[in-house]
Amino acid sequence: MDTNASVILGVRAGVFDRPDAVQIAARLGTALTDAITRVVGDDLRAGTMVELVASPPERTFVGGALTV
């Protein structure tokens, strides 16, 4: 698929284990796409890709410190 804009967002892996994971992913995808097209124009909506990437706790660092 040809894309005009692409966003990759790291999300804690546990989010995808929640009962409402499908809804969360859909809302994030929609909100990020909306934000991008508000800036660059709605004509790029069809080519805007959002990828949510699961980040497990054992590979997640904040301020240089492991978050586990």
Please give the pLDDT value at position 60. 87
pLDDT of 3 above 80: no
2 vs 35: which has the higher pLDDT: 35
Q: Looking at residues 30-57, what average pLDDT do you find?
A: 94
Q: Which runs of E-coded beta strand occur in the chain? A: 5-12, 48-55, 61-62, 65-66
Which residue has tokens 């097209």?
A: 37
Give me the pLDDT at residue 67, please: 84
CATH fold of the domain at 5-66:
Macrophage Migration Inhibitory Factor (3.30.429)
